[in-house]
Amino acid sequence: MSITKWLFHLFLTVLVSGKSFGTVPTPPNFDDPSTIFQFLSSADDLPEITIVTDVGQLLENRKTQNLQVAKLALGNGKSTLSFEVSLQVSGTFRRRVCDFPPLSLQFKEEDLAMRGFGVYNKLMLVTHCLDGKLSGNGNVLKEFLAYRIYEVLSPNAYRARLVRLNYIDQKGSQKKMKRYGILIESRAEMAARLGGTPCECYNVPDSSVSPEEENKMALFQYLIGNEDWHLPAVRNVDLLRKADDKVIPIPYNFDFSGLVNASYAVPSPDLQLRSVTDRHFMGFTPDPKILVRTIALFQEKKTTIYNLVRELKQLESAERERILAYFDAFYRELPSVDFLPQSIDIYHQRLN
């Protein structure tokens, strides 16, 4: 069957079934599937997304901001919806080095409104990056773990969902690909959900940042071995201003972490680290009482965090064991706080 006939039958089947234009009641809050992200998040199993577009053109335009039309079929295990969307290559480093770079998906607002969804019409999609199925999928699964761990540690986090992806070249010149991906809510949706305002505040004073949330975020980055972030420069962290005027850091992009240990990642030359898996604490010097509460939180959530690793069966068992051993090293070091920018003696003096 030609690719044109296949597409015709795909969307005709969805249309006839009534799923494509099935209405979702407009809900009053974020507890219902009021956004396209929540629709996919309501799946009992992994949501499935089929993307039909000119794959060759998409990859050729990776260095541009060009928008490219695509057909999407989105399934949450209960119903399937089809959309025409605009794709755009995203990211800075990954668009240069990835065989298949990350994407942003932009929906037409009128299409979402017709189906009863809210105004948030953008989603971020972390793709497999590397052509090798094992390595590409493995990196996605490990980065997804990082997002899920931070959701366990803080309510002030991006929501991320693991999805199954089918990439189909509309010209039929490229093979169909099946990969995992990470779907992430938009910055606007995250801010609305958390009741804050996105803040483009570079070099924000330390006193304006929530010390509890900063310490929590910095210790999380230390747990996963990620130095590829910088709060003053707002690199790989979004800032959200809350009603109390405090700024909350929201981290993202974890492919350079020791947890993921991607083949293309390199240790920070500025920090003189030998390996991507080396850890370096990059947070503010914390108030001792805040640090005590943060450490207690990490100890309290340890079992949950370890279970997230163990239960991710799509990831090879050897990698799950490596990650658990990597986290073991963090938890052995945690009580001593030797990783802090101040010595343990000064820490104890301030604590007392």
User: What pLDDT digit, counting tens, does each position of 115-163 carry?
Assistant: 999 899 999 999 999 988 899 999 999 999 999 999 999 999 999 999 9
The CATH number of 196-351 is which of 1.10.1070, 2.60.120, 3.90.930, 1.20.120?
Answer: 1.10.1070
**Residue (of 240, 243, 189, 191) closest to 217 by Cα position:** 240
Min mean pLDDT across 24-28, 108-112, 196-200, 301-305 is at 24-28
Cα distances from 95 to residues 46, 98, 136, in angstroms, run 26, 6, 15
Question: Cβ(61)–Cβ(89) under 8 Å?
Answer: yes
Q: Where are the domains of the chain?
A: 3-190, 196-351
Q: Does 211 score more than 90 pLDDT? A: yes
**Mean pLDDT in residue range 286-294:** 93
Band of pLDDT at residue 34, cut at 50, 70 and 90: confident
- How much is the average pLDDT of 260-269? 93
* Percent above pLDDT 90 for the chain: 71
- CA separation (Å) from 17 to 11, 81, 123? 10, 10, 26
Q: How far apart are CA 17 and CA 79, in angstroms?
A: 10
Q: Compute the average pLDDT of residues 173-189.
A: 95
Model confidence at 253, pLDDT cuts 50, 70, 90, reads: very high
Most confident of 150-154, 244-248, 333-337: 150-154
What are the tokens at 10? 């795909």
Please name the residues in contact with 95: beta carbons below 8 A apart, sequence gap of 6 or more. Answer: 62, 63, 89, 101, 102
Asked whether 32 and 23 are in contact (CB, 8 A), the reply is: no
Structure tokens at 267: 């240790």
